[in-house]
């Protein structure tokens, strides 16, 4: 289940890059999957901050989101 969001994100960025930036398929794919690989670096600090502040702890949402990219 955790690989599906990464694949979908990579494919989405690839499609947008092909459409908006007029990139070839290979270059757009490289861009898409690089962005998908780096995106957890944006989410993890936010979720750690939420855990420290106790936000979403009742349902375990920050922990669930952190477990996804791993």
Give the confidence band of 38 by pLDDT, cuts at 50, 70, 90.
confident
Q: What is the mean pLDDT of the chain?
A: 83
pLDDT average, residue stretch 20-26: 94
Which pLDDT belongs to residue 69? 55
Among candidate residues 51, 23, 52, the one with its CA nearest the CA of residue 35: 23
Number of residues written out for the chain: 70
Neighbours of 63 (CB within 10 A): 13
Beta carbons of 10 and 30 less than 8 angstroms apart: no
Q: Which token pair is 7?
A: 């694949």
pLDDT tier at 14 (50, 70, 90 boundaries)? very high
pTM for the complete prediction? 0.63
Q: Indicate the DSSP class of residue 62.
A: H
**What pLDDT is recorded for position 1?**
56
């Amino acid at each position: 289940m955790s690989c599906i969001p990464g694949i979908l994100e990579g494919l989405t960025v690839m499609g947008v890059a092909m459409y908006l930036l007029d990139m070839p398929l290979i270059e757009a794919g490289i861009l898409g999957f690089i962005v998908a690989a780096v995106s957890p670096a944006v989410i993890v600090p936010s979720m750690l901050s939420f855990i420290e502040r106790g936000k979403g702890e009742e349902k375990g949402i920050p922990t669930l989101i952190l477990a996804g990219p791993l």
